[in-house]
Every structure is written in structure tokens, then in C-alpha cells.
Structure 1
């Protein structure tokens, strides 16, 4: 049975490759090699293979296979129903479904109250005007009065209430010590990593290891270390091998190389076909006005536009987020997600599947703060097309887990449990004090983790943090940093007597350095 499953996994991998653009490009490259006059018929196979290897196609194919294996992990229940493989715990599936219904109800209520449709076709004149000001959408977007009527469908605090309310009515036995949450508010027992497992996982970040972006080198001059890192990084980029780039990035990416290294780790190679696809998405934005567009406009105005670091990228953000909402390729990530893309029905055909469409087309309804997933990337890429594809991969491989209910160890529920567990173990006195004054720590740190610290840390610190997310292919570093911040501000937090006072102590994180805090949290005890 195991062999059959492995065989099916390989067949699924091959099928995924055959339907990809890489397969077509590889086929064309093989034909070009076969047509070379210097190649003899008797050596055709070996000659074509050697030519493809010499041209770097073997690395591109290996990167694609590696990406598939990382984004499609082998399930422990190969013959289980699809919904069970997406989320094995029935009570979490039900909770996610209930949450999705609540989001849709909120969206539909807004449509009814404001008397606006979910979608409408733009008049030709409006299309031409929007096309002419595509790079200035922030200046000439929806009017302030209109936007003032639009409200975010939900915010992190709303989702936190859902996470806190999760319970398994079938669970009655006393949990093992490693699962137990003595003082926390996460009530379901999920297995999360022990501190020693995290230390082993992030061993390349240990205190005795020099890190890019950290000015505390002891053995070698900072300038020499950075020069060596840049020199090595250029060789890594030249090799064009994703796993090699991941290994390199475990100690951080130099600013000048970060954009290229991230493309390698995410397997992003933008060509003419990708540019054409982005233009098609742009055309869809011009042709149809969605209610989701206004949610995105509102979110950018409330977050990035009010941030001293990101306000200059307002127009850039619209050029990414609006096409993103139309991209049906993003629906693929729901194969690995506990979530289900919402549907809308043609008027008068409610409940009839033949008249149902995904809404929005990418299946993702944005929340308050959603734009901050994109904002730090604006420092890395000058072209909106490359920025778009890097963001799309970041979302589909990582960020989608931060706003859905699941038992995955890197889902927001597991990250919340890991945060509470680590803080209780490392700072029991602090945790108990905050709990006793009515301030559950997760109620403060949840929004940090849900937004991957974007908008809370300084932009360069966010990028250094995201270096490690990509390098280790894990979001577990988010609760580790959250615990480190509480430890760092412990002296002041021990003096607070109210929730508002604790929030004030942790309101400004822009002066903090992410990597040293993580190192202290993991390796100083």
C-alpha cells in the first residue's frame, strides 16, 4: 500500500510538471539541442541530455521538483478523503467552515447596506481613465466619502476570537505535559515543538554564528564578513539552485542580493509569458470593478499609507493587490489549505452549482492588514511584475496559513499554541503576572504573527526575519520572536496593572533588532 502511494505521488508530480510552463520550455530546448548539426543520430539521447545540463535546464527542473515536494508534502493518510487530508481534525474543519460563512455574511451585508454589487462591468470610459492612471491609482482611486462607507470584513482581533473559542468536545483525557497550556487561552491540544527541537532546527542562528545584518561580530571585522557574504552569495545566485540558496539564507541575505536569492528560493523566473499573464490580470481589473477592490483600497489607506516606511509605495501596492484578486492560479493553494474558496451565484440561481463562480476569483477575501504582506517587498523589486510573482509565491507557500483555522504546526493556531508554551516555559513569572492583571499575552502578539510582523518591526528587520522564513521553510520563527520581545520588555511589563498599560509597553517595536532577540530567546538559556 505504501509503495502504491509513493508511485501515485510520483505520477502526480509528473502530471504537475507536464501541465507547467517549464515542461513546454524544456521540450522546446530539447528540440533545439536535437536539431544541432554537430549531433549524430547514434548519440542523440546523450547529446540532448548533455546540452540541457550545460544550458542549466537540469537545475531548473530540480528546483521545480523540490518546490513541488515542499508544497505538496506526502500525507500520512494516502487513502483518506480529500477534505480529511486538507485538515484531519473534524472539529477544526467545522470551525473553519463556520468562520467562512461568517465572513461571507459580513460581505453580503455590506453589499445590501450600501446597495452595491459584488461585481460590475466598468463602462468603456471608466476603463480608459483607469488604464491611463494605472501607476497613480492611489491619487485617483475611489473617493474618500465612498471609502468611508467601506469597512474591513474582519481584523486580526476578530479572528483571534475564533481561535480562542476552538474546542474539541470529544477530547476529555488529561493531555501530556508537552501539550498542556496551563495559563494560556488556546484550548485545543496540538503538538508543537520543544525548545530543544527549535534550537536544533535554527542552529545556524546560534549566538556564536555571525549573521548578516547584525553588528556584533567578535572574531572578524564587520566589513570583511559582509564582503565574504556578498562574494559567496553571488556564487550561490550563479548556481541557480533553490536548496543551495536556502542554506545560504539561514544566516541572512545581503541587501544587494536579497531579491535574486528570494526568487531562487521561491522558484520565481519571470519571462514573457508571465508578463503577458500579468497584463491579462490587469485587463481584468480594468474591465470589472469588484467590491474586494474597495476592501483593498481601504486596507492600503488604513495601513501602508499611514506608515512612514511604506506610504511611498501606495501606487505599487495597488498594482499588485488588484491583479492578485483576479488570479485563479492562487486557487491551487486551497489543495493544501483547510480553507475553501467562497462562491457566489448568479442572481436567481442561488444553490445551483452550474451557476456558481468563485468570489473573488482568487478565493481570498482580504482582512484588515492584508496589504502589509506586500509592503516590505516593495523595497526589493522595482518592477511590479516581478514583485507580483514573488508575492504570489510567498502567499501560496506561507502566508495563507496565517488566517485560516487548521491543525498544521505552522498554521496560526499551532503558532499561537507554540507562543504560549514557550512563554510559559521561559518566562513563567511574567506570564502569570500578565494573566493575573487581565492581560493574556496572545491578545497582543496574535496580530504580530498574523501579519508576520510587517508594519510592526522596521522594514529591514522584517526582511531579515522573512529571510529565515524562506531559508528554514517555516513560520515557527514568528512565535519565537514574539516570546523574545516579551522577554526583552519584561522589566516594564512586570510593572503594568492593566491590559492597556501592557499594550502601551509593546506598542512600538520599530527600534528592535529581530535576529539578536531570536538568538537570545533560543540560545541564551
Structure 2
């Protein structure tokens, strides 16, 4: 590499670094990392805006969010009181060993979760959304059919039909879409083969932006895992495996109230579904580890939600 040569000149250092990044493959990695960050973080606000405004600019939305969170926490605490169980506690050693042994087949377990009720009913959440009102908005129009077009009457700026057509142009009838045979003007077999070939080329280039654009016309099953890993800019490095094992260890060691709620939710949905029952064990593993992932807390710096907290009993 030219950067390691002693005769390197300061005047050409910038170009030499660019060449080094290209030849070493780091240019593409940096591009993917920047692209991933741009998709995660929200658009910049006014520099004088307070932190809460950056999370959610509408005050009445923040108020409604806070009220709903208090309602959820009250429901959780009431359930803990009724069932005489803590929000979080350390598992007994025997229970830790049992959970570790059946980690890959948790779907075979049939605990009695009849006493665990849902934290909220869907109709309760719908009622909250229906009651949202902007205090600064006054509709001077006479009552008409427009007032009954939807249950949620919140004046938010949304995209019109031409803008939606532009954003979802890949769904046009003149453009091929994998899995929708009647929308393509070419034989579906030809489109599928060509689409898979292009997908393999996208993977070879390792370009996150190109991968995201590519899947807008459908994602071939054989390439799905690699494409989404590229889009999300994630890798299966040793440090990633170690991080997952740490999350798994936290699940094994500590019992949270949300574990039972997750277990019941999956049992009532995935295990009774002909398409998703085969993924039941994976759902337990992912959701239980996700509930221990403290990196998720970083999202609350630009989200209007507030993370609920609890303390592990005996620690």
C-alpha cells in the first residue's frame, strides 16, 4: 500500500488515502455506515428547539403519549400486585439450567399463563387515538361527510396521490414486481430469473443503498437474508455473536414480567398460525433477548416514548 511507503508526499496524501480506501474495500463500508445512520436519525430541527420538541414537535401528541405510558405502567404494576410477582427478579439456579437446556425448543413448554392478562385492549388504544384533538385547529366547515371519513380526526400533513405515486413508482402496472404475476408485462419466469441475477450483482457490490432500491421490486427468498443484512448494515462478526450471548445470558439469569407477556402473545398468535408456527422458537429467542438489549435505549434520544424501568429484586 502506497501509504506505507516512506517517500509519500504530503501534497498527495489526500488522494492516496482515497485510493487506499477504494483498494482496501473500506470506502464501501464507510458509505454503507453513513447511509445507515442517515436512515436512522430524524431530520434536523431548528437549532433553538428544545429537546422534547426534537422528539415530537406537537405538544398535544407528547401529552397524549405521556398519559398512555402512565396507563400502561399502572396496568403492569396492578398485575404485579394482584399476582404477587415483581417486575424483575433473578431466576433460581435450577430454573436457569432448565431454561438453558430448552433454549432451542421453548415452544414445547406449556406454562399456565391464564392469570396474565393483556396490558391493554386494542379498543382502548383505538379510543385514545380517536380522542386526539389539536387545540390549535379549528374546522370552520359545516358538518359534512368529510367529518365521517375516518375515526381518527387529527390534522396531520400527509402525502397526496401524486406524491404517493412517485414514492411507490415500483408498484406501477408497467413495472415487474416479484410474486405478482399479473402486474408484469414480461413472462414472470423471465422477470424472476433476471431479478435474481441483478440481486446477486447487488450483493457482490455490497452497496446498502442499491440493495434497498433493489428490494422495492421484490426480494427473492434465496437472497433475503443477505440482502436485509446489507440493507441494515449488519454483520455476523465475533463481537456480534458475543453480544448476543451476553443478552442470552441476561435472559437465563433474570426473570422479567414481560417474559410471560411475550410468551403468551406468541402462543396466542404464532403457535396457532399455519405460516408462523415453525418460527415460534425463534420468536421467543429474539424477543426475550431484545427486551434486555440496552442499546435500544439510544433510540429514545429522538423518540417521544419513555422507556419503562424496573429494579431487579435482590440486586
Within the candidate set 275, 279, 286, 1:320 is matched to 286
Within the candidate set 293, 296, 307, 1:330 is matched to 296
Rate the CA distance shift 1:222–1:137 in 2: closer, same or farther, 3 A. same
Deviation at 1:202, TM superposition (A): 1.1
Name the structure, 1 or 2, with higher relative contact order (CA <8 Å, separation 6+): 2
Matches within 5 A, 1:93-172: 93-140=62-109, 143-144=111-112, 147-172=113-138
Match of 1:501 in 2: none
Say if 1:152 and 1:298, in contact at 8 Å, map to a contact too: no
Asked if 1:43 corresponds to 2:43, the answer is no
Within the candidate set 48, 55, 67, 1:79 is matched to 48
Provide the rounded CA distance (Å) in 1 between the counterparts of 2:167 and 2:183.
22
Deviation at 1:91, TM superposition (A): 0.8
Provide the rounded CA distance (Å) in 2 between the counterparts of 1:237 and 1:251.
15
Asked if 1:273 corresponds to 2:244, the answer is no
Deviation at 1:47, TM superposition (A): 5.1
Provide the rounded CA distance (Å) in 1 between the counterparts of 2:62 and 2:7.
58
Q: CA RMSD in A?
A: 2.2
Match of 1:235 in 2: 201
Match of 2:154 in 1: 188
Provide the rounded CA distance (Å) in 1 between the counterparts of 2:220 and 2:207.
18
Say if 2:174 and 2:184, in contact at 8 Å, map to a contact too: no
Q: Secondary structure of 1:120's match?
A: strand
- Asked which structure has the greater CA Rg, the reply is 2
Say if 1:213 and 1:254, in contact at 8 Å, map to a contact too: no
Say if 2:196 and 2:220, in contact at 8 Å, map to a contact too: yes
Matches within 5 A, 1:499-514: none
Deviation at 1:218, TM superposition (A): 5.7
How many residues are matched? Answer: 306
Rate the CA distance shift 1:346–1:221 in 2: closer, same or farther, 3 A. closer
Matches within 5 A, 1:245-264: 245-264=211-230
Deviation at 1:79, TM superposition (A): 2.0
Provide the rounded CA distance (Å) in 1 between the counterparts of 2:179 and 2:263.
33
Say if 2:173 and 2:184, in contact at 8 Å, map to a contact too: no
Within the candidate set 55, 63, 80, 2:32 is matched to 63
TM-score by length of 2: 0.90
Gap runs ≥5 in structure 2: none
TM-score by length of 1: 0.55
